[in-house]
Structure 1
Amino acid sequence: MAMSPPDAPLVKRKLMLVAAEASGDALGAGLMAQLRVQAPDIDWSFVGIGGARMSEQGVKSPFDIAQLSILGLVEGLKALPRVKARVRDTVALTVSEKPDAVVLIDSWGFTLRAAVAIRKALPGVPLIKYVGPQVWAARPGRAKTLAGAVDFLIALHPMDPPFFEAQGLKTIVVGNPALHTNFGDADPLAFRKSIGLSADAPMLLVLPGSRPAEIKHMMPVFAEVLARLHRERPDLTFVMPVADTVRARVEAAVKAIPVPIRLVENEAGKFSAMRAATLALACSGTVSTELALAGCPMVIAYKLEPLTYWIYKRISTLKHATMFNIMADRRIAPEFLQNECTADNLLNAIDQRLDDKALREEQVREQFEALDIMGRGSAPTAERAARAVLDFLDLR
């Protein structure tokens, strides 16, 4: 990019970013930071909807995005009045700020409604979607819907472009951000020492999710698993990272479990704990990729509202839920979903791995191979996304 003469005034650009969940908040923050790095001769102004991470980059959100952390079709219907109210707030902010472009991050239901409403209120503003719906997994018709609502898609997965470009939506793939999780400062030995564990003492990392609905569905079965493990393996230490979005819910649930559980309340501690753990019991999601990068074997669990799951099974074409299992097209990490997500099934898989170091090591090796298929080692997602935004807006 050509630099401006030393005395030339900086070009001003205002970008609005809209994120409705913690994962989107992280994507938005990374994008803003990279835009400043890659286009230093632009005087950036960032506005929009986001959480703590985007706030650190200067975005003052008019409402708490925790109220939009909604999981499942049934739950989405129940929350529809609240979602519509927040869409109106988002449009009002857009009209007030008049940004040069709007980036709508993930959260399909909310950001699609926001895109349609913003397009109606400000027909000329460019709309960029950052993370598309997984049409390769279910409901391919959403590709046409998105193509009619936005101007450009920044996608995470190599399976995305054929679906969206067939509908005329320009799409670029920037990779899964979880592949670039930085474990450089993680110190597993120091973490173990901080909680009084020796280097080889057994430790189970428990990750019940980052959405209220996930805590609601996963904590009861996880609580039973932990109680039984504690009785059978009194030397096993339990560690549980806590997401900001569900802190109060997790803390309340943990108090009801008659098991000593050490809570970890920051990212640095979470990554050290991932490196330190013997094994993880995790709610399905992005955390599975992070665990795989950390070299931690895992058992995956997930539950939804029964009706939501019934609908999902009838529209999904996937054989697996965990991304590295999907990419490898085989069950590397065991998954126990919905009716299979029972204490007995989870305990059996956990016991097998706690008792068999070779099994754990083989799972870690296969997880690493799957991460390579996913694109481990490529340029960071935020860096590639910022380039895509600058190119689309012709600012390079």
Structure 2
Amino acid sequence: MQDGQLRRGLKTELELRFQVHKSTITRVFDDLKKQMSEGNVIDVKNKKWGYVDENQWNIQMNFSNQCLFGDPTFVNMQETIHINEKWFWLNPKTRRFYLLSKEENPYMCQQSIRFKIKAMFMAVVGKPLYDANKNLLHDGKYGIFPFVFKKRALKLSKNRVAGTMETKAIESVTKEVTRKMLMEQVIPAIKSKWHPSLPKNVFIQWDNARQHQISTDAEFQEGCTSYGFNIQMVFQPAQFPDLNVLDLGLFTSIQSIQYQSFTENLDHLVEKVNEAYAVFDPKVNRNTWITLQKCMTEIMIKNGGNNYPPPHMGKNRLENQGIMPEQIEVSRDIIHQAVEHLNTLFRQVNQADDEDTQMQIDAD
């Protein structure tokens, strides 16, 4: 049971398993929720006076155990937002063309690979939000922002006159640049596009790169807590790019769309990247968040390792059958295995080995 609701299809499974009517399952489930809300001990005995059928008692007790003590699921992650940076190039290193017999090969001259035009973008993505009828309420896209600045041209060239405002890419993204991007672009975009039905406790996840060790002073805290929001920055584990949906597949999808165009300058590149982000399919975004949960399960199976093949579960087939899970179940055996492995790696703070005690040296 997750957030007071049974997972999709569980009532039908219990109806076939225990050979009872669906109304019986609904009645027992409503009784369970009432007792849990009141803080009482779970009691699903038949309330009728007289003889209580032993089979009916076993059925209801097994149903309560299935609801309360079944395999746990991941949280819905609806309040989690993933952000990350990526370099987008003006043109790919290689490009394939299909030409007619009389067409000439496309040609683009460039002095050196060092002069290839590129720009870094910070993408902000959340999980798509659907209602009970599977209607899309929010696509989970909060924006993609380039690290660029405007500079006036000092000299005359064949492309523009002197004094023209040009777009330049920020080549070195430092802590100060990252903090400015969060304060002026990312956090305001989240606040303006946040769906009103969701709580305002937002978790922004990114990797723990050096430029992400920003200063969280009073000004930054004010920006994260204004208008009733409580925005917190959390780091993902190191060496695990699969724990960020942007690295898991969204960046690849956006870049494949952007490479379908032929950009000529940096302004054109920014325009095409924004267009690729805008046409990005929310269905692919939702599937990536499901893949993220499967990756977490594989990491627990590997005891924290990343040596696992990409998990596949046939999401298109499950969606066509109407049984696509939004939250993946995890076997309790896998969780117990992961907990036991962690217990072998750590020890209590106040627990000291005999060897450590013997090795202590008196400073006097």
TM-score with structure 2 setting the length: 0.28
| Greater per-residue helix proportion | 1
Q: Compute the TM-score of the two structures, normalised by the length of structure 1.
A: 0.26
Larger radius of gyration: 2
